[in-house]
Structure 1
Amino acid sequence: MSFLSFVMMHVGIAQDNFDTEESSITVLGTSNVHDWESVVDLNQVKLEFTLNDSIPPLLGTLSLTIPVESIKSGKSLMDKKTYKALQSDRHPNIIYKVNIFEYQLGKAKATDGKLTVAGKTKNLPVTSKYNGDSNDVVLSGSVGFKMSDFDIAPPKAMMGAVKCGDGVTIKYKVKIKF
């Protein structure tokens, strides 16, 4: 492979804007009383990425920054407990970074994905459905992890009578237009 070909394959673009109308990020969890759900206000999220010079377009890198206080359940008390558990005063953002994607049959695997929550960074490989054409790229899927993996104590309410489960699932659809 010539040097010029190598450079052309790695030419990328950066963008901090994405299609918030057709994208969504939802946090799902359980408690000893009922399941719960919070939605991320995508207008506050920062997305940066590079594209490899290919047809269809393939993501080269991705960085997603979610302000903790953009996560809303529709219940202010639950939101306050979420922000406290995630230490939003000291760690205001949740960050997911990927430097290497592997592609196969309509899927993109973030093999080196790293998630930072409450100041703790852990490896979190994610496999997404992937659809790309000359106008946009869509990643969708879900991934689960435990709050305790990030040294987060699951929130409690009513003097401990209501307890959140340790596991959470992030369901997402991210559409990037170019």
Structure 2
Amino acid sequence: MKISIMFNLMLLFISITAYSQADKNLLDGAEKLELKESALVIKGTSSLHDWTSNVEESSAYIVLNDKETQIEKLNVIVEVKSIKNNKGSSLMDKLTRKALKEKEFPRIKYEFINAIIVDDNGELLKLDLIGELTIAGKTNKVSIETVINKKGNRVILEGSHQLKMTDYGVDPPTALFGTVKTGNEITIDFSVEF
């Protein structure tokens, strides 16, 4: 299925990312966009209370085919060390980095495979983005529901994806000698505007 250049450009930031100044060599031939605003939030539960963490550091790049009508490559990288608990808990941040095996696998990676259009009413475009998500060294194929909304000269991408930590070989963190346990399921919400 051919996808228009505008659609390709919108897909660049679909998956939980803020565009940073990536290595120029990685971006040869790629289309670049600057973000106006973005947010990537990870939510979960524990035996004590619900928790939320924010991603502060991520990057992405895209490569289009010669005619600029299809995505050849779309990669998103999240730096594990940049995942910060919204309550400023350094203990939670430390447990997160340990659970995600940050020393061995410092990055979470998403690589785009293809997109399936779910609904297009002219203003909102709903689609499923199919790709490979790698967390703590384990890769799984995922489908991420995404909504693309154009408001004037702004394009807003929003979506959400649920996953189980154990599907990626991640043991849900515990604290206080195992008396506080994190739930296995987490939700990743993203909103990107450019």
> CA separation in 1, counterparts of 2:58 and 2:78?
5
2:89 is the alignment partner of 1:75: yes
For residue 37 of structure 2, give the secondary structure of its aligned residue in structure 1. coil
**1:1-178 to 2 correspondence within 5 Å?**
14-15=30-31, 18-19=34-35, 21-41=36-56, 44-50=57-63, 53=68, 61-73=73-85, 74-103=88-117, 104-105=119-120, 106-111=125-130, 113-132=131-150, 137-175=155-193, 177=194
> CA separation in 1, counterparts of 2:50 and 2:94?
18
Q: Which amino acid aligns with 1:107?
A: K
Q: CA deviation at 1:97?
A: 1.2
> CA separation in 2, counterparts of 1:136 and 1:99?
26
* TM-score, length-scaled by structure 1: 0.79
> CA separation in 1, counterparts of 2:41 and 2:105?
20
Aligned partners of 1:17 and 1:46 also within 8 Å? no
Q: Which amino acid aligns with 2:43?
A: L
> CA separation in 2, counterparts of 1:121 and 1:28?
21
- Superposed CA RMSD in Å reads 2.8
Aligned residues: 162
Structure 1 residues 16 and 149, CA, compared in 2 at 3 Å: closer, same or farther?
farther
* TM-score, length-scaled by structure 2: 0.73
Aligned partners of 2:136 and 2:170 also within 8 Å? yes
Q: Percent identity?
A: 36
Gaps of 5+ in 2: 10-28
